Structures are given as structure tokens and as C-alpha cells.
């Protein structure tokens, strides 16, 4: 089931970080503090989705997509009512400074965000490949019947996976607001990017996700500097269509 509300949870994590950081707490620490809260929130959302659609087993695909679009809309409207349409930002010692590499200067906030994202990706990759629950998460999308024979409950595994995915939105939202200001409607530009990275990487490949994210980021930067800002949002959809036409399984898919 495509989780189209995931970018909305990302923006929700950024605004939650903004609230916690307003008490003088570092944004990254705020994101870590919010991860357990978002985990419980994700578990609750999946449980509601399961009870409403998945357990009935009829037309869950189309209705499920409509459900997550509705969740995304509710999150966006809620953020607008709570914070308005103005952009919000945070302050930290690594925001506003840069690191020099010869004649090149790189914003320190970008290096911090890249380092945290790399550490999070590595941790998730190890968890998914070295633990029974992690391997079950990757297997549940392939064969639920075989997973039951291994002594795992597919519903519990999917609920746990949904909680983990939502928990990562807390720290990812912290990175988002560290990189730049955020506003409630920001999730719209990440829907295409999310699908592009997932399809380009191949389902279940964490290393592929990292490579796909770098490819998309570099491609958008090149288009941004050569063709202007108007063409940058089209990069993700162009790559998505190209990959679906040439290699639907993705670069690292099997």
C-alpha cells in the first residue's frame, strides 16, 4: 500500500521539532525525543487502517490510498490552523555557519543533516538485515503465508513497521527544518520525490535508497543551476517515468 501520507508526517515532524526546540532544545535532540511519540502515532494510524480496510479485504487498495490522502489532508489543515501559512525555522550553532574545502564552502547544517541521515540509513539497514523482526518486515510484502509458518504475525509485523516508518519522520522532520524553513504545504513537493526514490532504489533496498536519494539530489541541483527553479520539481517525475519504463524493479531491486 503506497503510504502517500508519509511526506505529511515528515512535515508534522518538522513542526513538532519547532515546538520542542522553542524551549531551547537542540533541533536534532528534539527530533530524537519525538521519535517514541511518533512511533505510537504510527502504530495507531495503521491499527485504524487495518480495522477499517485491510481486515475486510475488499477493495483495500483504492480505498487505502484514499484513506492516506485523507490523513495527509487532515495533517496539513491541522498544521495550518495551528501555525498559519507562514514559514517556521529553528536556530542552532551549526545553522548559518559553513565549512571550507579549498575554494568551496559547504553549509554546516547540510553536513550535519547528511551525517545524521547516513547514520539513520545504516542503522535501519542493519536492523532489517540482522534481526528476525527486520527480516520479517522485508518478507511480509512477499509472502504472508510463509511468514506465518515462521511463527510471525503479519499484522503485528506491519504495525511495527508502520510505527518505525513514522518514528523516522520525527528525526527526518528535524533535519528538514534544520536545512531550511518549513510551511504546512511543503509535503506536496515530497510526494513525487518519495515515489521516485523508492522506485529508483527498488523495494526493500536500504543501500539503494541512499544511492537513489543522492542521484535525485544531484540531478535536481544540476537542473536548478542550469534550467532554473521552475524545472527542478519535474526531475523526480521524469526519473520515475524513466525507471518504470526501463527497469521497473529499480536499480537494486530483484
What is residue 62's predicted lDDT score, i.e. its pLDDT? Answer: 73
What is residue 58's predicted lDDT score, i.e. its pLDDT? Answer: 55
Surface-to-core class of residue 101, CB atoms within 10 Å of its CB (0-12 exposed, 13-18 middle, 19+ buried): exposed
Q: Is 182:27 a contact under the CB 8 Å cutoff?
A: no
What CA–CA distance (Å, rounded) separates 218 from 212?
A: 10
Chain centroid to CA 50: how far? 21
1-12: pLDDT as tens digits: 678 889 999 999
Q: Which residues of the chain have pLDDT under 70?
A: 1, 57-61, 253-254
Report which of 142, 245, 169, 236 is spatially closest to residue 198, judged by C-alpha positions: 236
Q: Is 152:136 a contact under the CB 8 Å cutoff?
A: yes
For residue 106, the cross-strand partners are: 99
Domain coordinates in residue numbering, the chain: 6-184, 185-254
Surface-to-core class of residue 107, CB atoms within 10 Å of its CB (0-12 exposed, 13-18 middle, 19+ buried): middle
What is residue 101's predicted lDDT score, i.e. its pLDDT? Answer: 81
**In terms of DSSP H, where are the helices of the chain?**
6-21, 27-49, 60-83, 108-130, 132-140, 144-149, 154-179, 188-201, 206-226, 234-246
Report percent pLDDT > 90 for the chain.
42
C-alpha cell at 89: 525555522
Amino acid at each position: 500500500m503506497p503510504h502517500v501520507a508519509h511526506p505529511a508526517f515528515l512535515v508534522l515532524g518538522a513542526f513538532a521539532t519547532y515546538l520542542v526546540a522553542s524551549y531551547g532544545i537542540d533541533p536534532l535532540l528534539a527530533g530524537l525525543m519525538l521519535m517514541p511519540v511518533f512511533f505510537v502515532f504510527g502504530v495507531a494510524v495503521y491499527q485504524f487502517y487495518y480495522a477499517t480496510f485491510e481486515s475486510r479485504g475488499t477493495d483495500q487498495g483504492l480505498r487505502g490510498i484514499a484513506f492516506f490522502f485523507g490523513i495527509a489532508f487532515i495533517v496539513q489543515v491541522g498544521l495550518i490552523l495551528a501555525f498559519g501559512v507562514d514559514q517556521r525555522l529553528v536556530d542552532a550553532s551549526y545553522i548559518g555557519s559553513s565549512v571550507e574545502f579549498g575554494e568551496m564552502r559547504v553549509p554546516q547544517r547540510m553536513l550535519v543533516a547528511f551525517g545524521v541521515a547516513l547514520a539513520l540509513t545504516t542503522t535501519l539497514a542493519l536492523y532489517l538485515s540482522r534481526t528476525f523482526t527486520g527480516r520479517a518486515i522485508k518478507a511480509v510484502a512477499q509472502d504472508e503465508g510463509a511468514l506465518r509458518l515462521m511463527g510471525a504475525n503479519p499484522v503485528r509485523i506491519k504495525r511495527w513497521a508502520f510505527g518505525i516508518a513514522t518514528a523516522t519522520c520525527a528525526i527526518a522532520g528535524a533535519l528538514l527544518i534544520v536545512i531550511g524553513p518549513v510551511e504546512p504545504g511543503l509535503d506536496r513537493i515530497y510526494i513525487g520525490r518519495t515515489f521516485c526514490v523508492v522506485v529508483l532504489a527498488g523495494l526493500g533496498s536500504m543501500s539503494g535508497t541512499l544511492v537513489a536519494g543522492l542521484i535525485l539530489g544531484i540531478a535536481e541541483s544540476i537542473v536548478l543551476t542550469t534550467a532554473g527553479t521552475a524545472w527542478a520539481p519535474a526531475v523526480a517525475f521524469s526519473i520515475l517515468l524513466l525507471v518504470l519504463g526501463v527497469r521497473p524493479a529499480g536499480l537494486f531491486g530483484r
